[in-house]
Amino acid sequence: MELTQLVYFLAVARHQHLTRASEDLAVTQPALSHAISKLEKELGVPLFERVGRNVKVNRYGEIFARRIERVMQELEAGKHEIAETADPETGIISLSYLNILGVDLIPNLVREYQRLKPKVRFELIQGNLDDIHSQLVNGYSDLTITSKESGIEDCEWMTMKKVPLFIVVPAAHRYANRPSLSLLKLNDEPFIGIKNNCGLKATLQSRFQHTGFSLTSTYDAEDLITVAGFISAGLGVSVLPHTAGLALDGLVWLPIEEEGWVWEIGAMWKKYRFLSPATRQFLQFATGTLDINILKA
């Protein structure tokens, strides 16, 4: 059963005349008659009583017409809903992101975008690295905001911001009063690391390899706030981004003397997956590649 057959059937039922229906549909009468006959054969019952070119819907046709009218209404509603969802002015943007980014980056980003596009809606999914990767791969989110080094196969990447990384020590630490510190000074220090499921892990591994030395973790925490808590308790030192979510008492943030120690955060999406106009425009806004005047137009 084809959609065209259903459209033709409703037109004939409405006009009660093959010629007028064919003119309305801009198809030939033989093509229209063939489509109706094929539909009746598939259903196994006649839908019309025929008298020359005049036709009258029979009781089977009336039953079928009621149902098909509902189907067509739902189809139109679905088309309208999809158009509205994809529209840059009213669309829905499904966004997954690392837990730590939910403290300031994501709320601020959503707020600023909705000031420009107040009718746009967000579906926000927060989690660890495995969580947000799963959401993206399985199509539950359109975009993921994460670390550059934590990319996955067949994905595109655009940088949003580069956050400086700091050596973080307890307030009572012997290095706490220094204006900056070299990572080489940490060789004999108990180091609080993070597990692979944290988005910053791959960044730190890459930076340590580039620097040419490694640190053995005394303890690997599940997330960054736990790392900060252990440092505040005097149990070790670490390397962290200075974000609002880690602003605990008892921490001292020392600039790293070696170059290149930044956490690159950006948007990632599947390479060959469709991105709606709403999502594409938000992506351009989030990565600073869209003229703000376009959004205000």
**Rounded to an integer, what distance in angstroms lies between the CA atom of residue 87 and that of residue 120?**
9
Residue type, 79: K
Query: Could you tell me if 200 and 276 lie in one domain?
Result: no
Cα dihedral 186, 229, 97, 260, rounded to 10, equals -20
Give ∠ CA 23-43-1 in degrees, rounded to 5: 60
DSSP-derived 3-state class of residue 146: strand
Residue type, 156: E
Query: Could you tell me if 141 and 275 lie in one domain?
Result: yes
Query: Could you tell me if 152 and 271 lie in one domain?
Result: yes
pLDDT, averaged across the chain? 86
pLDDT at 149: 79
Question: 268 phi and psi, to 5 degrees?
Answer: -130, 140
How far is the CA of 102 from the CAs of 125, 234, 284, in angstroms? 10, 26, 20
What DSSP string describes 203-259? HHHHHHHHHT----EEEEESSHHHHHHHHHTTS-BEEEE--GGG--TTEEEEEBSST
pLDDT at 292: 45
H-only helix segments in the chain: 3-15, 18-25, 29-43, 59-86, 105-116, 129-137, 201-211, 224-232, 277-286, 292-296
Residue 24: both structure tokens together:
């309305």
The candidate with the shortest Cα–Cα distance to 256, out of 161, 163, 165, is: 165
Query: Could you tell me if 253 and 277 lie in one domain?
Result: no
Query: Could you tell me if 167 and 256 lie in one domain?
Result: yes
pLDDT at 214: 65
- Number of folded domains in the chain? 3
pLDDT tens for 46-65 read 998 887 667 888 989 889 98
Residue type, 267: A
Query: Could you tell me if 18 and 110 lie in one domain?
Result: no
Query: Could you tell me if 255 and 284 lie in one domain?
Result: no
Query: Could you tell me if 165 and 259 lie in one domain?
Result: yes
User: What Rg value do the Cα atoms of the chain yield, rounded?
Assistant: 31
Residue type, 251: L
* Spans of the chain below 50 pLDDT: 292-297
Query: Could you tell me if 187 and 256 lie in one domain?
Result: yes
pLDDT at 296: 45
The 8-class DSSP code of residue 52 comes to T
The structure tokens 């997954």 sit at: 96
The structure tokens 């999914």 sit at: 125
**Rounded to an integer, what distance in angstroms lies between the CA atom of residue 56 and that of residue 58?**
6
pLDDT at 213: 64
pLDDT at 124: 94
The 8-class DSSP code of residue 1 comes to -
Query: Could you tell me if 63 and 116 lie in one domain?
Result: no
Q: Model's pTM, two decimal places?
A: 0.72
What CATH number does the domain containing 193 carry? 3.40.190.10
Domain end position, chosen among 70, 85, 100: 85
Residue type, 27: V
Domain of residue 237 covers 161-263
pLDDT at 212: 64
pLDDT at 295: 44
**Rounded to an integer, what distance in angstroms lies between the CA atom of residue 217 and that of residue 65?**
71
DSSP-derived 3-state class of residue 287: coil
Query: Could you tell me if 122 and 184 lie in one domain?
Result: no
pLDDT at 118: 92
pLDDT tens for 169-183 read 999 999 999 999 998
Residue 113: both structure tokens together:
């975008």
Query: Could you tell me if 45 and 126 lie in one domain?
Result: no
